[in-house]
Amino acid sequence: MTDLRTRITASRAMGLLAALAALVALFSALSAVEFSTGAVHQPYFLTLDNAVEVGGSCAINLILGVGMTLVIIAGGIDLSVGRLMALALVVQVVVTNAAGSLAAGLAAGLAAGMAVGLANGLLAVRFGIPSFIVTLGTMMISRGGAMLVAGGKSIGCAVHAPLAVQRFMPIAVALAAAAVGQVLLAKTIFGRHVFAVGGSLEAARLCGIRTARVRVLTFLASGLCAGLAGFIYWCRNGLGDPLAGDGYELYAIAAVIVGGTSLSGGRGSVLGTLLGALIMGVLQNGLNIMLVQPHWQYIIIGSVLTATVLADRLKSSEPPL
């Protein structure tokens, strides 16, 4: 079973890499065309600057996606992460301003993320409420909570991230989160349990796996990731915006699904999510930089998401549901 799982993931990863390379090639070509017609002074897509830009702009999506991957593989879903990120963010900024210490703020922000994540897990697992409903509720609670903590408006932060931190911290943290998530899933007993629980809850329970604990831990991890994402939002934008994160949970789910993780659980990888987030990030960056209207951007990104899943379905030998 493990073999089959990794084989699927490996071929998937190759497909995603090819898609990513194709996108990079496409946007490079388009920017080169624009350059050759004299519309711009230099080709602008394939530059180190812009590569750093893409990395920075996918960072939040990737971090949320890492937590989401764990939750989804274990058979759940976490809709709260976008708004939870905003809650953790404003907690971080308020505490940083009050205590005059970024470390204290960061700790408080991460704690807020983990607290809500833990609550998600306990409510969904201990009381058997579908995680979709639980996290829909905590999404709204987090949104209101963020407004309450921030006093209903964006708050500036007493500590200011230097430019290098703004640019490189998001990438470093996102890659670290992905690495930890990948190792956790692929190399540890906990990871094996996550797959087992998502594959068949009953079978996992009969094998003696403490399924409740495993599932709660995935939600806790997702909450922690939301807290980390809040930190990255601060790095990039330098303020506590209680309205941040609108719809980010859906982007995270999209990255996870494009990355080949099965929404029905039991199958997937963080590596796939990394590639999924990169594809979405490159797409978004390329469309922005080519001045494509936001309306078209939604249509194009949505089409890519749907097409990926469709391609999967056509390749798969399983009968459609």
Smallest gap from residue 90 Cβ to other proteins (A): 12
Amino acid at 250: L
156 binds other proteins (CB under 8 A): yes
Q: Is 269 helix (H, G, I), strand (E, B) or coil?
A: coil
**3-class SS letters over 185-254:** HHHCHHHHHHHHHHHCHHHHHHCCCCHHHHHHHHHHHHHHHHHHHHHHHHHHHCEECCCCCCCHHHHHHH
Smallest distance, other proteins to C-beta of residue 193, A: 31
Q: How far is the CB of 53 from other proteins (least distance, A)?
A: 5
- The CA distance from 101 to 320, in Å, is 54
Exposure string of 187-220, with b = 16+ CB inside 10 Å and e = fewer, is eeeebbbbbbbbbebeebeeeebebeebbbbbbb
State the minimum distance, in angstroms, from the CB of residue 74 to other proteins: 29
Site for other proteins in 25-44 (CB under 8 A): 25, 28, 38-44
Contacts (CB under 8 A) with other proteins, residues 57-116: 57, 60
- 255: contact with other proteins by CB under 8 A: no
Enter the tokens of residue 73: 């593989």
Q: How many Cβ atoms sit within 10 Å of the Cβ of residue 40?
A: 12
Interaction of residue 11 with other proteins, rule CB under 8 A: yes
142 binds other proteins (CB under 8 A): no
Q: Which stretch binds other proteins (CB under 8 A): 65-73, 95-103, 159-167, 307-315?
A: 159-167
Alpha-helix runs per DSSP H in the chain: 2-36, 48-73, 81-99, 102-126, 131-150, 163-187, 189-199, 201-206, 211-237, 248-258, 270-289, 294-315
Site of tokens 């992460």: 81
Q: Least distance from C-beta 289 to other proteins, angstroms?
A: 5
Among 2, 3, 127, 293, binds other proteins (CB under 8 A): 293
Candidates 71-79, 139-147, 237-245, 271-279: pick the segment binding other proteins (CB under 8 A).
237-245
Return the number of the residue (20 or 104) whose C-beta is nearest other proteins. Answer: 20
- Single out the segment in contact with other proteins by CB under 8 A; choices: 171-179, 208-216, 230-238, 270-278: 230-238
231 binds other proteins per the rule CB under 8 A: no
Does position 164 interact with other proteins (CB under 8 A)? The reply is no
Tell me the closest approach of the beta carbon of residue 153 to other proteins, in angstroms. 9
Question: Does 50 sit near other proteins (CB under 8 A)?
Answer: yes
Q: Segment near other proteins (CB under 8 A), from 69-77, 109-117, 119-127, 148-156? A: 148-156
The DSSP call for residue 38 is: T
> How many whole angstroms separate alpha carbon 233 and alpha carbon 46?
25
- CB 50: neighbour CB atoms within 10 A? 18
**Least distance between other proteins and beta carbon 271 (Å):** 14
- Contact call for residues 232 and 170 (beta carbons, < 8 A): yes
- 161: contact with other proteins by CB under 8 A: yes
Residues that bind other proteins (CB under 8 A): 11, 14-15, 17-18, 20-22, 24-25, 28, 38-51, 53, 56-57, 60, 154-156, 160-161, 163, 166, 233, 236-239, 241, 243-244, 246, 284-285, 288-289, 291, 293-295
